[in-house]
Amino acid sequence: MRIDIYYDKQSRNSNLCKILHLITLNLFLGISYFLFSKWSLLFHFPGSNVTPLWLPSGLSVGFILVFGKRFLPGVFLGAYLANYYHLSSNQLIGFRYILYISFLTSLGNTFQSYLVFIVMERYSKLNWMFHLKVVLIFLMIAFLSGLIAGLNGTFLLYHYHIIPIEKIAIVLYSWCMGDFVGIILISPILYSYFRREDFQFQKKYSFEYLISILSLLLIVFFIFRIESEASKIFPFLFFPITLWVAFRSRQFYFHIFILLLSGIVLYESINQRGPFAMLGGFHSILCINGFITILSSTMLIIKVVLNEREISCFHDREDAYNKIQSLLLKLKEEARTDYLTGALNRRALDELIINDLKKPNIRFCIAIVDIDNFKQINDIYGHLIGDEILKYITQMIDQNLDKEHSICRWGGDEYLVYFKNSSLENSENIMNTVITTLVENPLVFNDKTIPAKISIGLTEYREGEMIEECFKRCDEGLYKAKLLGKGRVIVL
């Protein structure tokens, strides 16, 4: 009874620790969401509160994809804190309305993460970074979830007279695209970090990483620091360098590079530098959102295609390797066996006996088997029947042998049977059983009954003697068996 009470307490303490751990992680996610929201607001364009990038959505979606829906309370908490903080700066909204709008908007943000989770959950056993179909589904559901969250938030802001009707389109677009960009920038980083083990830095790629970063900085200088009409076409230079990184870097570092590039473009544009800032107002936000969306989503798709190709090549190489290994095993087996009967050939048996002779206290017997009147069988029934006789006798001998015994086609119509770890008496009994079986069960082929007998010379290896002496005794025994009328075993 005391033991049961002890284990009940232990179980309750364990469950309490798990609950506290889960609450702590949800609080951590909520605070991180709030901090990411403050950081995202730094990217708003001068004269407006609109930001083309909303990082908290990417954080929440990535976190839920990796760790599951049990962290949705953390998403709601972070979204509520962010919305409350943002709305509280508006003096025209009452405190009660701020709480109400923050609550409803946070529900939309939480549903956004949950929607992505329930769609992607069916692919949880896959690393979807390596499957093009799944990535395309991810991009579509990321956009749809951003649109739903944007519709919810925009409707609430308009309904409570926080934005005028003429700004609905701008707010909806920036909300939807900001969430979408945040999701496709941040969540792949979290997913590739926690789900893969290929983010370890490899020194052999250090030079390539350095060249890539220097090239990026050089392109940024030409685009955002040189005032000229030509700089308007320079953003296209981001694509070749990003393609190079996609080809040469691992998943985690590739997404870090995309995030770094997007951050530089945003930073320079909100500081009124570069071709995007020249457009001014909402057009700048529109173009930046479009540029980052096209760049990040296109490069994500290209990277996944490269991953699929790499995996396909790996599987092809693996299949080729397995086929080669199978062929090598087959060739090795064919080199050790007789192609007609399937018994060991002479070389294989020689290797087996030589290896066993190196072992101490080895004990074995050897029998040489010869088919009686085999030439007459070939002359009367033909060589096809002769081949069937060879295979049939091999089968009869083999099915009476123990696991450690071996049969070898010694040449022509002769066999050598190797009785490893067998006494002379046991070996003789086995061979007599084979002789009896052949007499009682002759070969029947094409409705013809073909009788076959065998003569056998049997001997036991004597420690210290040459193996040739053992073979010589077997030959003598076989010769005596033939002289005494065939169809018998002679032991010497």
Q: What would the pLDDT profile of 336-369 be if each residue is shown by its tens digit?
A: 788 888 888 888 888 888 888 888 888 889 898 8
In angstroms, the CA 461 to CA 369 distance is: 17
Same-domain pairing of 296 and 412: no
Beta-carbon-side half-sphere exposure of residue 206 (alpha carbons within 13 Å)? 3
Q: Is residue 329 part of a domain?
A: no
Same domain flag for 379 and 308: no
The pLDDT of residue 6: 44
pLDDT above 70 covers what percent of the chain?
Answer: 89
- Residue 125 sits in the same domain as residue 233: yes
* Cα–Cα separations (whole angstroms), residue 304 to 140, 311, 340, 384: 15, 10, 52, 60
Which residue range forms the structural domain that includes residue 108?
Answer: 2-319
What pLDDT does residue 31 have? 93
Last residue of a domain, one of 319, 335, 364: 319
Highest mean pLDDT among 73-82, 268-277, 326-335: 73-82
* Same structural domain, 420 and 306: no
Q: Does 325 map to a domain?
A: no
Is 242 within a domain? yes
Q: Let me know if residue 341 belongs to a domain.
A: no
**Most trustworthy range by pLDDT among 13-22, 100-109, 126-135:** 100-109
Residues 18-24: what's their mean pLDDT? 87
Whether 314 and 350 share a structural domain: no
Q: Average pLDDT in the 75-89 region?
A: 88
Asked if 181 and 296 touch (Cβ cutoff 8 Å), the reply is: yes
pLDDT of residue 13: 64
Task: Among 302, 319, 336, give the residue marking a domain's end.
Answer: 319
> For 468-490, what is each residue's pLDDT tens digit?
888 888 888 888 988 888 888 88
Question: Do 372 and 243 belong together in one domain?
Answer: no
pLDDT in tens, 242-288: 777 777 777 888 888 888 888 888 888 777 777 776 666 677 777 78
Residue 332: burial class (beta carbons within 10 Å; 0-12, 13-18, 19+) = exposed
Same domain (yes/no): 301, 370: no
Q: How does pLDDT run across 411-453, given as a tens digit for each residue?
A: 888 889 889 888 888 888 988 888 888 888 888 877 778 888 8
What total of structural domains would you count in the chain? 2
Is residue 305 domain-shared with residue 379, that is, in the same domain?
A: no
Same domain, 268 and 389: no
Residues 295 and 361 in one domain: no
Any domain includes 241: yes
Tell whether the model's pLDDT for residue 312 goes beyond 60: yes
User: HSE-up of 264 (CA within 13 Å, CB side)?
Assistant: 18
64 vs 269: which has the higher pLDDT: 64
Q: Are residues 134 and 240 in the same domain?
A: yes
Q: According to the model, what pLDDT value does residue 238 have?
A: 76
Task: Give, in degrees to the nearest 5, the angle at Cα 39 between 47 and 236.
Answer: 75
Q: Is residue 381 part of a domain?
A: yes
Q: Which of 3-12, 57-66, 154-163, 214-223 has the lowest mean pLDDT?
A: 3-12
Q: Does the pTM exceed 0.85?
A: no
Q: Compute the mean pLDDT over every residue in the chain, rounded to the nearest whole number.
A: 82
Residue 338 lies in a domain: no
Does 249 lie in the same domain as 374?
no
Q: Grade residue 214 by pLDDT with cuts at 50, 70 and 90.
A: confident
Give the CATH number of the domain where residue 481 resides: 3.30.70.270
DSSP state of 45: P
